[in-house]
Every structure is written in structure tokens, then in C-alpha cells.
Amino acid sequence: MAASPAKRRRGHDGSAIVTLVVVGVSHRTAALDVRERLMVGAADLSATLAEVTQSTGAREAVIVSTCNRTELYLAGGDEPTPGAIELMSRRLGESAEPYTYVRREREAAAHLFRVAAGLDSMILGEAQIQGQVRDAWELGRSASGIVLNRLFQSALGVASRVRTETALGRGAASVSSASVQLAKQIFGSLAGRRAMVLGAGEMAELALECLVDEGVRTAVVANRTFERATALAAKHGATAMHVDECWAEVADVDVMLCSTAAPHPVVRAAHLEAPLARRGDRPLCIIDIAFPRDVEPAVRELQNVYLYDLDDLRAVVAANIERRREELPTAEHVIAEEVERYWQWVAGLHAVPVVTELRASAEAMRAREVAQVLRRMPNLSASDREAVEQLSRALMNKFLHEPSVRLKAAAANGRGLAIVDAARYLFGVGSAADATPPSEGSPTESARDTTSTDERS
């Protein structure tokens, strides 16, 4: 359950100051039907972003919404969590709180970095999420700002580093990609090969996409419902056929992938004997990813036929997932490095305005004091008056140099935000002149308050 944090930094009006929050629902916390109702499509993204900023009071917002997650990334403004959960509840038609998780500040940044790198995916290390994160940010740029723009740029950089510096994305980790990997073991390369796909459902389409990505030259989509075969074939430049008319094509294809919803075998040995006779010694790779199986066991006995079923594919997937898990420590190290780099930049955003206000306040004070002195010394020459001005400026700059440098440096470590608040109070800059001194806990404790995390996992 997403609870309100016990202690948070407070603005001078008493409201909570929020740098970064993510409120989300994912495959780890909610079933598919819940995620479907929360999903935000491209068509209503702009309207939903406007609703998010209005409901939460956040100054910046980005929505990442896929089949596995819907997450609201929010920056600036007062505490946005209640408004975000209320908005999700309206969209869901029931309370979304049991399904939501909330991560704040550093943990929010780390979460997005893990998402973009595929560490939080249903299939560990899957690459598709990186593009989905990029699309979410680019399509929602109207509601994002400096904090979220930098966050998403960093997340995409993290994903690229993880993919480059680790083996997390290597090896097939889904049934569809495993199918293609097994076919490549037979042919070495699929570039220029011909493939036939039986079925037109989601798994068939994913497999066809993998085959096309590997350079398959010509593809045939065969299905009992010809309209569905036509629709899928049109998306990928393939030829559509009715399944009863496709057997002659087997003589010319290299890979046959079977993924129908039939309750009984669709591919029988009798269907293949004649086309196999015309193939000569060319191998035929048949990959059966249907459940129940599409291909009768007798097909395995046919000469030059290599038949793989789900058990074969799951063994490949399991082995590759285990190899990917071995890369997790390296990937997490990359993420930790990039979170620290990003958070140093965020903390610096808090320090820069204070340094600017401090210098502006000091300059105003210097100018007033110098003006008073010069009025009492009307006989000074122009060069002497200029010397007084230069001396006062030099002294001011020397006095402020070390505090300015140290304040910016402090903003880059774990205590930055608390020290920024202390500086506002001590130097009386901005609206902090009348503020209550920061007396709750040590600077380190105050900084920890800003990075508290509420999660539901």
C-alpha cells in the first residue's frame, strides 16, 4: 500500500517539496485485466498527461504505459501521490491503491533505470522496453521539463550501457526468440531464407517479427481464418494463404513455425511427404510453439526434418535466463553509478538558485553600503571612487567564493538538500528570511527524509 511518508522536506508554506516520484502498477503487482484498464494509448496520452498534472499538482509528468506497466513519473510541486492514486482509481473503476507502488527521489531514478535496462521486465533483459521508454518520453515531451528530461535521457543511456557492458540481453529469452535461435543453429544465418508461419495470433506475430528481423526474405502466413492471415501478412510484407492450401509451399520454405489454437495436430506426416520429396536433401526446420501441439510426433521421423517443440524451446529459454541472471551484479553496478551521477545533478539544481540569490543579496548590500560611504566622502576623485567599488567587489567575491563552492559540492553528496535549506536560513535569502530554522534531525537525517521510499512489491 502506498502510504504517505512520515517525514518530508517542507517548503516555506508548509507543503512537501517533491523532486521526483513514480507511482505505478506493473506485472509484479497487478493481473493483466487490471493493467489493461490502466493502459494509456498514444491517442489519449496528451489528455491524460493534462489530467495527471491537474490531479497531482506536479510541474512535470511522463507516463510510461505498456502491456506490463503503467507508471506516472512526476517532478516538482507538492506531494503528488494521493492525486496520482486517485486518478488511477478513476481510470480503473475501483481503488488502485492495492496495486500501486511508490518510489521517491533516488529510488525513483533507480527504478526507471532498471525498467529501461530490462531488469524489471517479465522477461529479464528484454530489449523492447528501451524503445517503449524512449517513445513514452518523446510523445509526452509537452508535460516534461528539466528534471524529467534529464532523467529519461539518463535512463536511455543506462539501458545502452547495460546492453553494451553486460551480456544481459544476449541469448533468446522468449519462446519466439528461442524459435529463431534454434533455426539459426541449423542454417547459420536466416538472411535470404523463406519461412512459413501457421497461425495468426500474438505468438505467431512475434515469431514472424523475429524472423523478418533476422533477414528472412519471403514469408507465408497460413491460417484457417483467411482474413486474419491477410491482416498479419500485410503488416510484414508476407503472403497470406488458407491453411488447407499451404502444403505445396513447404517444398520451397526453410523454416515452418506453427502456432495455431487448434485442439488437435494440424501438421501431419501425410501433409509433408509430397513436398519433402521435391526438396531433395535440403533441411526443413519445423518449430511447434503451440499448446496443444500443432505437429504430430510422426513428423519427427521424416528425413531431413528438424522438429522442435515447446519443451525444447523452454530449455533454451531457461538456460539463457540463467546466464542473464549472472550479469545482474554488473548491471546493478552500472545503474548505481548512473543514479549517483543523476542525483548529483539534481542536487545541484537546488544549490544553484541559492548561490544566485546569495550573491544577488550580497551585491545589493555591497552597493548600498558603498553608496552610503561615498556620500560621506564627496571630495573623492573618480578614480578613487572606482577603487572603492573594486575593493568592495573583490572582498565580496572572496568572502562568497568558498561558501559558493562548498554549497555546490555539498549538493552533490548525500546531504545536499538539507545543507541548501540551512544556507537559505543562515543567509536569509529568498523567502527563507522568515523561515523556521531546520531543527529536525541532523543534516544527514534530513537528507535521508528526502529519499524515503514507499513501495508495494
How far apart are the C-alpha atoms of 261 and 281, rounded to whole Å? 31
Distance CA 105, CA 262 (A): 50
Active-site residue, selected from the candidate residues 67, 210, 258, 285: 67
Strands (E), 132-242: 194-198, 218-223, 239-242
Residue 293 amino acid letter:
R
Q: Name the residue among 67, 2, 3, 73 with its Cα closest to residue 38.
A: 67
Closest C-alpha among 254, 318, 249, 242 to residue 287: 254
* Residue 424 amino acid letter: R
Listed in sequence order, the residues at least 6 apart from 52 whose beta carbon sits closer than 8 Å to its beta carbon are 58, 61, 63, 72, 74, 84, 87, 143
Q: List the 21-26 sheet strands across, edge first.
A: 60-65, 69-75, 21-26, 101-104
Phi, psi (degrees; rounded to nearest 5) at 290:
-85, 155
Report CA-CA distances (Å) from 388 to 358, 369, 383, 384.
22, 11, 9, 6
Active site includes 285?
A: no
Cα(151)–Cα(141) distance, integer angstroms: 12
Residue at grid coordinates 544566485: 356
Grid coordinates standing for 248?
Answer: 505445396
Distance CA 220, CA 253 (A): 9
Residues 328/119, Cβ–Cβ less than 8 Å: yes
How far apart are alpha carbons 298 and 321 in whole angstroms? 31
Q: All 3 cell numbers of residue 4?
A: 504517505
**Contact by Cβ (8 Å): 145, 76:** yes
- How far are the Cα atoms of 363, 430, 431, 439 from residue 425, in angstroms, in the given order? 18, 9, 9, 11
CA dist., res. 260 & res. 203, Å (int)? 9
Contact 19, 450 (CB under 8 A): yes
Q: How far apart, in whole angstroms, are the C-alpha atoms of residue 101 and residue 23?
A: 6
H or E segment at 297? none
CA 302 to chain centre: 47
- Which residues are catalytic, by number? 67
